[in-house]
């Protein structure tokens, strides 16, 4: 192994201090001795495990969008609606800004994030760097805070409980699918994606 090959060195993202890398044990986190920033953490999930997680999330995502999320009943009449039903209804009720925000944070951003992760992981699995690797990693980093299924699930459940005073309201499978998706997203939030940069280096070395 070379004296200063990139695999053996770690650079602090915050203060640029350079460290010699050593293998981490399960659950261990390496921190910068100067500024305390996280340098690296032990990889809990392999690339294959992450890919499996993304595929599961994609399946749940399809169900969350196809199944109705809520059924409203008023004087014997029942109507159920999907997420897209809600978004379109809001658009027609002159809440265009809210409907665009909901569509972006609950549909387009998660979809974009899952596709990008799936693409990167698919190539990482073969030990290769996916086409568009650098811009995609940057985009994923920026997209981080913009998927808010957890806020949606909580908000929807509160609204369902509140509306219960006026209508017959029942939560439908779609909302549970969203709850499951929230759990998957939370698991993924704990994954250090920086390891993808290394996985590639190891494969090429």
Distance, CA of 40 to CA of 11 (rounded, Å): 10
Q: Are 121 and 50 a contacting pair, CB within 8 Å? A: yes
Beta bridge pairs of residue 169: 72
Nearer to Zn ion, 37 or 49 (CB): 37
Tell me how many residues contact Zn ion (CB under 5 A).
8
Shortest Cβ 33–Zn ion spacing (Å): 8
- Tell me: does residue 35 bind Zn ion (CB under 5 A): yes
Q: Are 18 and 11 a contacting pair, CB within 8 Å? A: yes
Nearer to Zn ion, 12 or 130 (CB): 12
Q: Are 184 and 177 a contacting pair, CB within 8 Å? A: no
- Tell me: does residue 39 bind Zn ion (CB under 5 A): no
Candidates 28-36, 79-87, 106-114, 187-195; binding stretch for Zn ion (CB under 5 A): 28-36
Among 32, 53, 83, 106, binds Zn ion (CB under 5 A): 32
Quick one: 93 exposed, middle or buried, by C-beta within 10 A (0-12, 13-18, 19+)?
A: exposed
- Tell me: does residue 31 bind Zn ion (CB under 5 A): no
Q: Which of 52, 10, 5, 1 is nearest to 33 (CA)?
A: 10
Nearer to Zn ion, 15 or 205 (CB): 15
Helix axes 195-204, 133-143, angle to 10 degrees: 160
Nearer to Zn ion, 12 or 60 (CB): 12
For residue 70, give the H/E element and its range: strand 70-74
Nearer to Zn ion, 12 or 116 (CB): 12
Instruction: Kindly identify the residues of this chain, within the stretch 3-22, that bind Zn ion according to CB under 5 A.
Output: 12, 14-15, 17
Shortest Cβ 16–Zn ion spacing (Å): 7
Candidates 29-37, 91-99, 107-115, 134-142; binding stretch for Zn ion (CB under 5 A): 29-37
Candidates 3-11, 18-26, 37-45, 158-166; binding stretch for Zn ion (CB under 5 A): 37-45
Nearer to Zn ion, 37 or 203 (CB): 37
CB contact set of 173 (below 8 Å; sequence gap of 6+): 63, 67, 68
Instruction: Tell me the residue length of the chain.
Output: 205
Q: Are 180 and 65 a contacting pair, CB within 8 Å? A: no
Shortest Cβ 32–Zn ion spacing (Å): 3
Enumerate binding residues for Zn ion (CB under 5 A).
12, 14-15, 17, 32, 34-35, 37
């Amino acid at each position: 192994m070379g004296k200063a090959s990139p695999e053996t060195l770690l650079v602090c993202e915050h203060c640029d201090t350079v460290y010699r890398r050593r293998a981490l044990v399960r659950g261990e986190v390496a921190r910068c001795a100067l500024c305390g920033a996280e340098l690296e953490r032990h990889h809990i999930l392999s690339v294959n495990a992450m890919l499996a997680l993304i595929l599961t999330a994609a399946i749940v995502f399809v169900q969350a969008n196809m199944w109705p999320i809520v059924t409203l009943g008023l004087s014997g009449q029942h109507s159920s609606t999907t997420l897209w039903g809600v978004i379109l209804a809001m658009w027609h009720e002159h809440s265009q800004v809210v409907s665009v925000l909901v569509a972006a944070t609950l549909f387009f951003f998660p979809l974009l994030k899952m596709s990008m992760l799936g693409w990167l992981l698919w190539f990482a699995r073969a030990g290769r760097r996916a086409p568009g690797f650098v811009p995609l990693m940057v985009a994923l980093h920026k997209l981080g805070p913009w998927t808010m299924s957890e806020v949606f699930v909580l908000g929807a459940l509160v609204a369902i409980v509140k509306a219960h005073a006026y209508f017959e309201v029942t939560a439908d499978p779609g909302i549970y699918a969203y709850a499951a998706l929230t759990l998957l997203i939370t698991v993924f939030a704990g994954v250090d994606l920086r390891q993808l940069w290394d996985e590639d280096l190891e494969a090429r070395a």
